[in-house]
Amino acid sequence: MIEIQINGKTCTCEPGEFLLKVAARNGIYIPTLCHHEGVGEQGCCRLCLAEVVERGRSRIVVSCVFPVEKPIEVYTDSERVRENRAVVLMLLKERAPESEEIARLCEEYQAIDGSRFKALDNEKCIMCGLCARACQSLGTGAIATVGRGTGKKVSTPYDEPSKDCVGCLSCARICPTGAIPYKQDEKERRIWDRSFTLVRCESCGEIIGTREELLLAAERGGREPDTLCASCRQKQMADVLAHTYGLE
């Protein structure tokens, strides 16, 4: 175990544990856009900067990919961190001027001077790749980062509707800047230029997913596709148990 100080608070961690994780476990907030438990670290948005002081020397690190190997002092909101974070935010704002979340953070960190760079039109994506990693981790891999420079974007192969997409919305829900548009009405969901029929719970009528995502989950689980939502399934299970043990 290693003992470190974060903003004056003593925290313990395993050697090699990433600083962002140690801070979060100890209730210390460090802003981040591209980090999500379950889809790995990547240090892409670079918002989670922290100041690390070691033997009297200070440096700025990206906390989600900074492994703690020895006792250090860490400051997550020092003047130096705030200044660097403001610069990162200015760049992110140029990349994604339409993102409300980035606008909010810019205000919080007083990141206002973005005039050095030309803003991209109608753009919310900061190219963190979280959506593609989420899709990949589901085993669908329907979207990926393509292109270079300002032409870089997340898309389906050849910008065509992907047969691998099951319309699960994981990509849209995980996106920190709301950059992936989708539409949904009573019967249908539209995302990445494809339409998916929605399936409702046989008991309560709640939407439980698209036909394709239920089929995929069933195939992976080696069972029939769900016809009930999670709470109706639980209730059904409780009823069966009560009936079996004569508890009704």
Nearer to ligand SF4, 53 or 169 (CB): 169
Minimum CB–partner distance for residue 120 and ligand SF4 (Å)? 22
CB of 205 to ligand SF4, least distance (A): 23
CB nearer to ligand SF4: pick between 67 and 161: 161
Shortest Å, Cβ 167 to ligand SF4: 5
CA angle 27, 71, 88 (to 5 degrees): 60
What are the CA-CA distances from residue 61 to residues 45, 52, 85, 180, 213 (Å)? 13, 7, 11, 30, 39
Cα of 246 vs its chain's centroid, Å: 46
Q: Which residues pair with 190 in a beta bridge?
A: 183, 195
State the residues that interact with ligand SF4 by CB under 6 A.
134-135, 140, 142-143, 165-171, 191-192
In the complex, least distance from residue 196 CB atom to ligand SF4, rounded to whole angstroms: 9
Q: What is the 8-class DSSP label of residue 117? A: S
Minimum CB separation of residue 149 from ligand SF4 in Å reads 24
88 vs 134, beta carbon nearer ligand SF4: 134
Pairing of strands 17-18, 67-68: antiparallel
Type of residue numbered 39: V
- Side chain identity, residue 82: R
Q: How far is the CB of 18 from ligand SF4 (least distance, A)?
A: 25
Cβ proximity to ligand SF4: between 43 and 167 the closer is 167
Q: Cα separation of 146 and 161, whole Å? A: 15
Report d(CA 204, CA 40) in Å as an integer. 36
Instruction: Copy the structure tokens of residue 225.
Output: 């596709």
d(CA 223, CA 201): 17
Partners of 54 in the β-ladder: 57
Query: What's the length of the chain?
Result: 248
Instruction: Using the minimum distance from each CB to ligand SF4, give the nearer residue, 52 or 171.
Output: 171
210, 189 in Cβ contact below 8 A? Answer: yes
Task: State the nearest-atom distance from the C-beta of 157 to ligand SF4, in Å.
Answer: 11
Taking the least distance from each CB to ligand SF4, the nearer of 169 and 207 is 169
